[in-house]
Chain A
Amino acid sequence: MNTRHDEDWIRRATALLDRSAEDLDAATLSRLNRARQAALDERRRVPRRWIWSAAFAGAAAAVFAVAIGLHRRVDAPAPQALQAGDIDVLTNDDDVDLYENLDFYAWLGAQRKDTNG
């Protein structure tokens, strides 16, 4: 779009702008320096904010996990206490089949009594 004609005056214009930016007075340069330092201080504060946010998020997650754990513990059915009979069965060396068919053996015993009687 730019013609050769344009290029000449644009080059001079940008050179003049460069010079105007270089020739700033000391007071202005001091203000710019303060502005830059204020911005950099802001940047230095950013990681600290990030750390506090992360710490807060971590603490919140920990509290949530503990709350969930407690909730589950309360809801879970408590294991039922073993009955004395159960302990006998478990510790006895008798055949387990005998206990499983106890009703059958009781009925068989009754039949024999009837037959004998």
Chain B
Amino acid sequence: MAAQISLMTAFDDGRMERSAGEEMRALETFLRGVERRALRMAELATGNREEALDLVQEAMLGFVRHYGTHDGAEWPPLFWRVLDSRLNDWHRRQRVRGRWWSRPADARGDDEDDAIAAAPDPREPGPLARLADGEASIALDAALRGLPLRQRQAFLLRLWEGLDVAATATAMRCSEGSVKTHLSRALTNLRRALEEHR
């Protein structure tokens, strides 16, 4: 009887070990899958790779601490939520330190809501179309850096990362309506900024 209990305990321990091992592998696979895009997102927000790496590391630690035990299906919006929070904190610190500079997107004011001025010309092939990859990449980085944080996050999370509206809202801690508004403005501002690079 004792031997039977011992065997059962050993089996249960093994199953728990395997389960924990699988969970760690799933977590590593997930982090490996998002880390590069997370770095680029942070780099676009900070304009500095070292600071971006620090922010991604903080986001990874915060994510595993708070959400590592959640179901894997919930991880994507939760990870981006942690990173978004770190990026917001970073921007807040920059404003406090007075290193925040006035950017073209911020200075545009009401003009960004001018639907006629913002409407694309259907005869044009669209921004980026006439640029070679190298130039287009530089132009895109500059245009994205020129966006306000919330607009840039809406664009990157919704259209690059591929989160749906609800998941993007979770990641950005805002309503779905706000996501749509930020994204619409981001597209308008990006199109306009990229057209200037033709």
Chain A residues packing against B (C-beta within 8 Å): 1-3, 5-6, 8-10, 12-14, 16-22, 24, 28, 31-32, 35-36, 38-40, 42-44, 46-47
Quick check: B27 and A8 within 8 Å, CB to CB? no
With a cutoff of 8 Å between Cβ atoms, the chain A residues found around residue B36 in the complex are 21-22, 24, 32
B180 interfacial by beta-carbon distance below 8 Å: yes
With a cutoff of 8 Å between Cβ atoms, the chain A residues found around residue B160 in the complex are 13-14, 17-18
The CA of A28 and the CA of B178, in the complex, are separated in Å by 34
Instruction: Other than A5-B122, A39-B61, A40-B27, give 7 A-B pairs with Cβ distance below 8 A.
Output: A5-B120, A12-B136, A16-B133, A35-B60, A36-B31, A39-B64, A40-B64
The CA of A1 and the CA of B181, in the complex, are separated in Å by 11
With a cutoff of 8 Å between Cβ atoms, the chain B residues found around residue A39 in the complex are 31, 57, 60-61, 63-64
Quick check: A17 and B140 within 8 Å, CB to CB? yes
The 8 closest A-B pairs by CB, nearest first: A39-B60, A35-B57, A21-B36, A9-B126, A43-B64, A39-B64, A43-B68, A32-B35
With a cutoff of 8 Å between Cβ atoms, the chain A residues found around residue B184 in the complex are 1
A40 to chain B, nearest CB (A): 6
Chosen A-B contacts, 19 in total, with CB atoms closer than 8 Å, are A1-B187, A8-B125, A9-B129, A9-B191, A12-B129, A12-B136, A13-B159, A19-B137, A22-B36, A28-B49, A28-B53, A35-B35, A38-B60, A38-B61, A39-B57, A40-B64, A42-B65, A46-B64, A46-B69
Given known A-B contacts A16-B133, A36-B28, A8 and B126 have beta carbons under 8 A apart: yes
Quick check: A38 and B57 within 8 Å, CB to CB? yes
* Most B Cβ at <10 Å: residue of A21, A42, A43, A44: A43
B166 interfacial by beta-carbon distance below 8 Å: no
Nearest neighbor of B131 in chain A, beta-carbon distance: A12
A14 to chain B, nearest CB (A): 5
B56 interfacial by beta-carbon distance below 8 Å: yes
Quick check: B35 and A42 within 8 Å, CB to CB? no
Chain B residues packing against A (C-beta within 8 Å): 20, 24, 27-28, 31-32, 35-37, 39-40, 49, 53, 56-57, 60-61, 63-65, 68-69, 120, 122, 124-129, 133, 136-137, 140-141, 156, 159-160, 180, 183-184, 187, 190-191, 194
The CA of A54 and the CA of B32, in the complex, are separated in Å by 32
Nearest neighbor of B56 in chain A, beta-carbon distance: A35
